[in-house]
Structure 1
Amino acid sequence: MIDSFINYLEYEKRTSNHTVLAYRKDLEQALDFVSLSFSIKDLGECSHSELRAWIIDLVEQGLSPTTVNRKLATLRSFYKFLMRSKIIQKDPTYKLKSLKTPKKLPEFLQESTIESVLEEEVYESTFEGQRDRMVMEFLYLTGVRLSELTALKWRDLNLHEERVKVMGKRQKERIIPITMRLQRNILSYKKVFEERFSKIEGNEYFIISNKGEKSYPMMIYRIVRQYLDLFAQNTKRSPHLLRHTFATHLLNKGADLNAVKDLLGHANLAATQVYTHNTIEKLKAVFEQAHPKA
Structure 2
Amino acid sequence: MVRNAENNLLARFEKYLVRLGLSPATVVNYLADMRGVARWCVESGQGCSLLNLTADDVRAYCRYLRGGRGLSPATANRHLQAIRKFCGFARQADLMESNPAADVRPIQPPPISRRALDADEIACLLEAAQAGRPSLVKRDYAIIQLLLQTGIKVGELTELQLADIELTDSRGTLTVTGNGGNSHRRIPLKALVCQSLQEYLQVRPPSPGVKHLFLSQEGNPISARTVQRLVNVYTRAVGLTGVSAHTLRYTFATSMLEETGDVATVANLLGHRSVETTLRYISKSQATQADQEVM
1:183 to 186, 194, 202: 194
Equivalent pair of 1:143/1:246 in contact (CA under 8 Å) = yes
Q: How far apart in 1 are the matches of 2:120 and 2:289?
A: 15
Name the residue aligned to 1:198.
206
Give the TM-score of the pair, scaled to structure 2. Answer: 0.54
Amino acid at match of 2:187: I
Q: Which moved more, 1:242-251 or 1:252-261?
A: 252-261
2:114 to 106, 113, 125: 106
Q: How far apart in 1 are the matches of 2:114 and 2:273?
A: 18
Are residues 1:115 and 2:123 paired?
A: yes
* % same residue: 25
Name the residue aligned to 2:218.
211
Name the residue aligned to 1:247.
253
Amino acid at match of 1:224: V
Residues 149-193 of structure 1: per-residue CA shift (max 9 Å, x gap): 000011110114710111012421110000011111111111121
1:154 to 146, 162, 181: 162
Equivalent pair of 1:124/1:130 in contact (CA under 8 Å) = no
Are residues 1:169 and 2:169 paired?
A: no
Amino acid at match of 2:114: P
Deviation, 1:125, is 7.3
Q: How far apart in 2 are the matches of 1:178 and 1:110?
A: 20
Write the mapping of 1:1-294 to structure 2, written as runs, cut at 5 A.
Answer: 106-119=114-127, 122-124=130-132, 126-160=134-168, 162-171=172-181, 172-193=183-204, 197-198=205-206, 204-235=211-242, 237-274=243-280, 275-279=282-286
Equivalent pair of 1:107/1:234 in contact (CA under 8 Å) = no
Q: How far apart in 2 are the matches of 1:182 and 1:280?
A: 27
Gaps of 5+ in 1: 1-103, 284-294
Structure 2 residue matching 1:118: 3-state secondary structure: helix
Amino acid at match of 2:237: L
Q: Which moved more, 1:115-124 or 1:184-193?
A: 115-124
Amino acid at match of 1:215: I
Amino acid at match of 2:213: F
Amino acid at match of 1:219: T
Deviation, 1:132, is 1.0
Q: How many residues align?
A: 175
Equivalent pair of 1:123/1:132 in contact (CA under 8 Å) = no
Gaps of 5+ in 2: 1-111, 291-295
Name the larger-Rg structure.
Answer: 1
Q: How far apart in 2 are the matches of 1:220 and 1:121?
A: 12
Structure 2 residue matching 1:205: 3-state secondary structure: coil
Deviation, 1:281, is 9.0
Residues 245-288 of structure 1: per-residue CA shift (max 9 Å, x gap): 100111123431100000000011122113152536999xxxxx
Residues 209-251 of structure 1: per-residue CA shift (max 9 Å, x gap): 121111111111110000111225342x211110001001111
Deviation, 1:127, is 3.5
Amino acid at match of 2:184: E
Structure 1 residue matching 2:116: 3-state secondary structure: coil
Q: How far apart in 2 are the matches of 1:199 and 1:280?
A: 45
| Pair 1:120–1:226, CA change in 2 (3 A) | closer
Amino acid at match of 1:266: H
Equivalent pair of 2:129/2:144 in contact (CA under 8 Å) = no
